[in-house]
Amino acid sequence: MLLENVSIASPLNKKFVTGSDFDKLDILEHQDIKILNGKIESITPTSYPKKESRWVIPAFCDPHTHLVFGGTRENEIDLRKTMGYGEVLKRGGGIYSTIKSTTECDEDTLYNESMERIVSMMHHGTAIFESKTGYGIKAEVEEKMLDVMERIERKLRVRIKKTLLAHVVPRNGNEKGYLKEFKDMIEEFRGRIDYVDVFVDDGAFSPSFAREAIQFANSLGIPGRVHLNELKNLGGVGILSGLDIVSYDHMLETNEVELDKIRGTITILPFTAINLRKSGSIFSAMKEKRKVLAMGSDLSPNTYITSFPLAISLARQLFPFTIENLINMSTLNSCYSLSLSEVAGSLHPGKEANLIVLKEGFGKIGYKFGENPIKSVIINGKVLRADRN
Ligand code: NIG
Ligand code: FE
């Protein structure tokens, strides 16, 4: 396949970008992109460039999703306005309500509903995914979630990095008891999972639970990811130091001293921050301190968003990130957090041919608010229909 006379805006050809590199994109106008066997074969100047050329950016990589779940929670939107996310959860709603519906949902329904979501995400430009368990709690339901992810992966031939997530303490259980169960699951599912994640927060798990669980995962060669400081800061950064944690997610309540200690990628989840009415005031410090920043959708029954361009638009309007920052965060840097930045995440020969052909310049993303900026999406060299959405 040949994409003729396109203008390219891509992250630099690096493992990840921070600092001044984070503020820019590699821009090459009037190029021909040759795609062969799902990869970018070459990028060369167009021989007879016409004036008009379409803009192309890398497809998105979503490093934080809760793609697989049963039921929906639209009834909580208005409830959260009076009660807040934490109180809904404490009363057995929120994650607990999704655990119930996921447990009751048969595997085929779970597969079909998750499939619908991921296909929508692909049509909105996402090519690479991370997906978490965590709405099962019990091993057999967690396994059902993993089965669904593997079925989707086989069917669509897209990459889904899988994460075993300790989401909340069982309703009539305790942390200590669940730690043993969770460690057993890590052992049982090793080989099928890429990461272990813990939701460390008020109403969820303590930092010491996370330390033990991730230490155990690390001893089996499985890196950690964490949901941290989303609602409240429980001192997790200090307690988790020294572990192999590749991504610190949310981080809204983190302070600047703690930021200095973070080694892994920080993944921000803009729609969730807005949903929780958080200011995101720490984001500027994250940028200034040259942290490796990635961005995810956090698609979940709480924040049901399948459009990455919409998440970028919200972040661009409300938070201190430029469009260049946001493209870097949601392509190369998010691939880096999934150990994929050497094979994907930017437009360079040899990399996977995952790209988005835009209707206009990339600067219009988040400007023409709520409009779909995408003309077509190419994933592993295959074009998706441009007229869906
Ligand atoms: O990343 N914080 C925990 N997990 C999700 C929300 C899940 C839910 O509410 O169902 C998150 O925000
Ligand atoms: Fe999450």
Q: How far is the CA of 312 from the centre of ligand 2 (A)?
A: 17
Q: What pLDDT was estimated at residue 51?
A: 77
Q: Which amino acid is at 236?
A: G
Q: Is the pLDDT of residue 386 over 90?
A: no
Q: How far is the CA of 66 from the centre of ligand 1 (A)?
A: 8
Dist CA 148 CA 129 (whole Å): 14
Q: How far is the CA of 300 from the centre of ligand 1 (A)?
A: 7
Task: Please check whether the two domains, 2-59+344-386 and 61-337, share a CATH topology.
Answer: no
pTM for this one? 0.96
Q: What is the largest CA-CA distance in the chain?
A: 70
Q: Whose CA is nearest to atom 11 of ligand 1?
A: 298
Which of helix, strand or coil describes residue 248?
A: strand
Q: Whose CA is nearest to atom 3 of ligand 1?
A: 199
Q: How far is the CA of 67 from the centre of ligand 1 (A)?
A: 11
Ligand closest in space to the Cα of 231: 1
Which of helix, strand or coil describes residue 288?
A: helix
Give the residue, out of 199, 250, 272, 276, with the most ligand 1 atoms within 8 A of its beta carbon, to mutate for a pocket test: 199
For the segment 66-93, what is each residue's pLDDT rounded down to a tens digit?
999 999 999 999 999 999 999 999 999 9
Adjacent-strand bridge partners of 294 = 267
Ligand closest in space to the Cα of 228: 1
Ligand 1 atom closest to 298 (CA):
1
Q: Which two tokens stand for residue 374?
A: 């995408």
Q: How far is the CA of 288 from the centre of ligand 2 (A)?
A: 25
- How many CB atoms are closer than 10 A to CB 121? 23
Ligand 1 lined by 98 (C-beta under 6 Å): yes
Q: With 0-12 CB in 10 A as exposed, 13-18 as middle and 19+ as buried, what is 19?
A: exposed
- The DSSP call for residue 193 is B
Q: What pLDDT was estimated at residue 50?
A: 77
Ligand 1 lined by 89 (C-beta under 6 Å): no
Q: Is the pLDDT of residue 12 over 80?
A: yes
Q: How distant, in Å, are the alpha carbons of 37, 124, 252 from that of 8?
A: 20, 19, 33
Q: Is the pLDDT of residue 385 over 90?
A: no
Q: How far is the CA of 199 from the centre of ligand 1 (A)?
A: 8
For the segment(s) 2-59+344-386, the CATH number from 2.30.40.10, 3.40.449.10, 3.20.20.70, 3.40.50.2300 is 2.30.40.10
Q: Is the pLDDT of residue 389 over 50?
A: no
Q: Taking the domain 61-337, which CATH number applies?
A: 3.20.20.140
Q: Is the pLDDT of residue 387 over 60?
A: no
For the segment 144-183, what is each residue's pLDDT rounded down to a tens digit?
999 999 999 999 999 999 999 999 999 989 999 999 999 9
Ligand closest in space to the Cα of 85: 1
Mean model confidence pLDDT for the chain: 96
Domain ranges (residues) in the chain: 2-59+344-386, 61-337
Which of helix, strand or coil describes residue 69?
A: coil
Q: How far is the CA of 366 from the centre of ligand 2 (A)?
A: 23
For the segment 102-159, what is each residue's pLDDT rounded down to a tens digit?
999 999 999 999 999 999 999 999 999 999 999 999 999 999 999 999 999 999 999 9
Ligand closest in space to the Cα of 166: 1
Ligand 1 lined by 227 (C-beta under 6 Å): yes
